Amino acid sequence: MRILSSIRTIAAWEMKRSVTMMGRHVLPLAVGLLVLLVLVTSFAAQSGIHMQDGMYRIGIDDPGVARVVAPDSRFTITIADAHTLREDRSAYDIIILRGEVYAADTDKGRAALKSLERDYEVYVSHIAAGEPDLFAAYPLWIDLEYVKSEIDFVATEGGQQVGTVVDARDPPVPSGPVEAVPLPSSAISVSEDDLRERLAETGSDHPLSRYTGILSGSSSVYTLKTPSQLSPPLPFDSIILVFIFIFPLYFTSQFFMMSIMNERVGRAGEALLSAPVRSSAIIVGKVLPYFALMLFISAAITLIIGAPVGILIPLIPVILFFLASALIIGMAARSFKELSFISIFFSTLATAYLFFPTVFANTHVISIVSPLTLVVLKLQGDGFTAAEYLYSTALFFATSLILFYAGIVNYREERLFSTKNLISRFADFISGGIMRDHPHASLFGLALLSIPFVFMVQMMALVLFFNIPMPLSLVLLVVVAAFIEEFAKSLGLYAIARERPGFLTLQNLLIAASVIGLGFLIGEKLLLFATLAQISESIFGSALFLSLGVLWMPLLLHIAGVLITGGFLLFGGRRAYVPGIVVASVVHSLYNLYFITGAPL
């Protein structure tokens, strides 16, 4: 009860402080800037975005043809007679002579040709949409149906062509049971007016229409398309979600980061620390207003774009993750510039982690690694299952909780106001989690808790590597995964060796290695069991999570890894730490490679 009331006091105090500070100086200018923003936005909407103006040069011999290209500002148009155009052939990326298109044989020429083809399609559909007889202009319609096939991840990894071997010219025969399917009717179920409207929509050439399309989810409503409307899922579309949802969230988390930093500048937070409140109450109280604000912002954005409210659910772990990281960064940075750089670095990592998997939304199961994919799915009207939710957000929840825990444990005077450099501060944070009396139990816990982070980094690596050609991607993944694991396992040991050099005896090292190995294995099993079944079935999964098959082998491997690093630490001192990790990673990789390349398991 008391902790609740102190949380409330601190939350109210935090709100009051930021409101007064903002109110006095910032608000008038912010309002002014907002008005300016509205003005500039309408100006930009009128004038258009002039980023890619004049990228290509095109030469045309007929002003009638030039009308096709005219709306596209990417082209600089030159109208001249055929002879002159042919003379300066090399000055143009494309020339059009009597209806024949010639493109330069360069990447640029091909890109220009692609853009021209799209412009031409827009132009043709513009003309055709005005036809009185719609089905003369658009005689062919395609009803797109998707069939679910269960072997998703395993089948497509590394771009392998599983199942499409068509050497034989005989038609393939299904081996499983055949379900009877009703033949699709040839009648069109949509009214002609609807079709016309849809055509007019595609014809509008606003560069942002593609992006607003995903937000309103309009593309999924119509399965009936003309051939030119057929398009593979475009990979960059979901970046709009990063701008719309993630950027404001990241921005707001900065205020929290700064609030933590401000406590430390000039020891301003000393009064609060000496007050009779627990550090958990301070942090929860400070974080609550920002959490509420971020949730409110997301809800407002959702309402504005008219999206289903369900997309807020996958955003919650993202908010928590941002706030937890903001807490740690705010506690660790020594100066403002360090704060800026770490937070920019972090935000790039986080954005990449969130964004890149969504590139493959609808294309590949790997995309579920990011909660943003769930947002994409929800916006498309597909929705997501509880299992998918757990799968894509478990790591975010787990890492946020652990980071908050680390922040609370370390929210103490000697940590907040120390001026050590970044690496020793992080080491301090880690040793803050190690209890003096039960170092082995703490090491066990630390290894257990490091698992979500290890998985996150490994997922990142998986996203990065999975479509590099096959053998290379697997080797890279094995080596990187081994390194990450060895690094994570050695952290606790390193922190102890730094703080208490006397602790590292041969006996203690043996015990420590065993408990770390055990903790790591248990953590791995627990998390895998809960979430990652889909990935662990594939060959990439076996590279990352090899430890599933037999229990004692990976346990020995994990212990051996820690022993190697620990041995280097013991005999070579802290300077031998890095070589120790490298050697341990090499051993770990060799073990993994041995088993992947067909060991008798």
Which residues from 286-345 bind other proteins, rule CB under 8 A?
Answer: 334-342, 344-345
Which of 9, 13, 76, 279 is in the footprint of other proteins by CB under 8 A?
A: 76
Binding residue (CB under 8 A) for other proteins from 81, 87, 131, 205 = 131
Q: What is the dihedral of CA 335, 337, 339, 345, to 10 degrees?
A: -150
Supply the angle between the helices 552-572 and 506-530 in degrees, to the nearest 10.
140
Instruction: Pick the piece of the chain touching other proteins (CB under 8 A) from 106-114, 402-410, 522-530, 547-555.
Output: 106-114
Dihedral angle, C-alpha 494, 499, 505, 508, nearest 10 °: -70
Nearer to other proteins, 143 or 309 (CB): 143
| Residue 280 binds to other proteins (criterion: CB under 8 A) | no
Q: Is the Cβ of residue 22 or residue 79 nearer to other proteins in the bound state?
A: 22
Closest Cα to residue 96, out of 107, 108, 74, 80?
Answer: 80
Q: Does 424 bind other proteins (CB under 8 A)?
A: no
Nearest approach in angstroms of CB 242 to other proteins is 13
95 vs 521, beta carbon nearer other proteins: 95
Q: Is 419 in the site for other proteins (CB under 8 A)?
A: no
Of residues 211 through 230, those in contact with other proteins by CB under 8 A are 224, 226-228, 230
β-bridge mates for residue 56, sequence order: 75
**CA-CA distance, 169 to 486, in Å (whole number)?**
51
- For the chain, what is the radius of gyration of the CA atoms? 30
Q: Which is nearer to other proteins, 30 or 599 (CB)?
A: 30
Q: Which is nearer to other proteins, 200 or 265 (CB)?
A: 265
Q: Which of 1, 83, 193, 232 binds other proteins (CB under 8 A)?
A: 232
Residues 453-472 within binding reach of other proteins (CB under 8 A) = 464, 467-469
Count the alpha carbons within 13 Å of 483 in the hemisphere toward its beta carbon: 11
Residue 188 C-beta: closest distance to other proteins, Å: 6
* Per-position x/- string for 46-75, each x denoting binding to other proteins as judged by CB under 8 A, each - no binding: -xxxxxxxxxxx----x-xx-xx-----x-
Where does this chain touch other proteins (CB under 8 A) — which range of 232-240, 322-330, 555-563, 588-596? 232-240
HEC letters along 428-473: HHHHHCCCCCCHHHHHHHHHHHHHHHHHHHHHHHHHHHCCCCHHHH
The residues facing 57 across adjacent strands are 76
Of positions 12, 37, 435, 511, contacts other proteins by CB under 8 A: 37
80, 313, 349, 596: which one contacts other proteins (CB under 8 A)?
A: 349
**Residues 137 to 196: which contact other proteins by CB under 8 A?**
137-149, 151-152, 155-156, 159, 161-164, 166, 169, 171-181, 183-188
How many Å apart are CA 60 and CA 77, to the nearest integer?
7
Q: What is the DSSP letter of 268?
A: T
Strand 100-103 versus strand 94-97 pairing type? antiparallel
Q: How many residues bind other proteins (CB under 8 A)?
A: 144
Per CB under 8 A, the list member of 41, 84, 385, 424 interacting with other proteins is: 41
Helix (H) or strand (E) run with residue 58 in it: strand 56-60
Q: Based on CB atoms, which residue is closest to other proteins, 280 or 467?
A: 467
Contact criterion met (CB below 8 Å) for 355 and 242:
yes
Q: Quick one: 151 or 556, whose CB is closer to other proteins?
A: 151
Tell the smallest beta-carbon distance from residue 491 to other proteins (Å).
19
The answer to the question of residue 526 lying near other proteins (CB under 8 A) is no
Instruction: Determine contact, residues 508/577, Cβ cutoff 8 Å.
Output: no
Distance CA 429, CA 147 (A): 51
- Shorter beta-carbon distance to other proteins: residue 56 or 444: 56
User: How many whole angstroms separate alpha carbon 289 and alpha carbon 19?
Assistant: 11
DSSP per-residue letters across 374-399:
HHHHHHHT----HHHHHHHHHHHHHH
Choosing from 107, 193, 414, 437, the residue that interacts with other proteins (CB under 8 A) is 107
Interface with other proteins (CB under 8 A), residue from 13, 222, 255, 426: 255
Please report how close the Cβ of residue 77 comes to other proteins at its closest, in angstroms.
Answer: 13
**Cα–chain center distance at 321:** 13
CA separation for the pair 301, 248 (Å, rounded): 10
Exactly one of 4, 12, 36, 526 binds other proteins (CB under 8 A); that residue is 36
Site string for other proteins, 371-410 (x = CB under 8 A): ----------------------------------------
Coil, strand or helix: which one is 18? helix
Q: Pick the piece of the chain touching other proteins (CB under 8 A) from 209-217, 259-267, 303-311, 430-438.
A: 259-267
Sign, CA dihedral 53-57-63-68, equals: negative
436 binds other proteins (CB under 8 A): no
Residue 365: CB minimum distance to other proteins, A? 6
Footprint of other proteins on residues 260-279 (CB under 8 A)? 261-262, 265-266
* Distance in angstroms (rounded) separating the CA atoms of residues 298 and 317: 13
What DSSP string runs through 533-552? HHHHTSHHHHHH-GGGS-SH
Measured from the CB atom, is 59 or 445 closer to other proteins? 59
Q: Alpha-carbon distance 490 to 570, whole Å? A: 12
* Among 196, 407, 148, CA closest to 281: 407
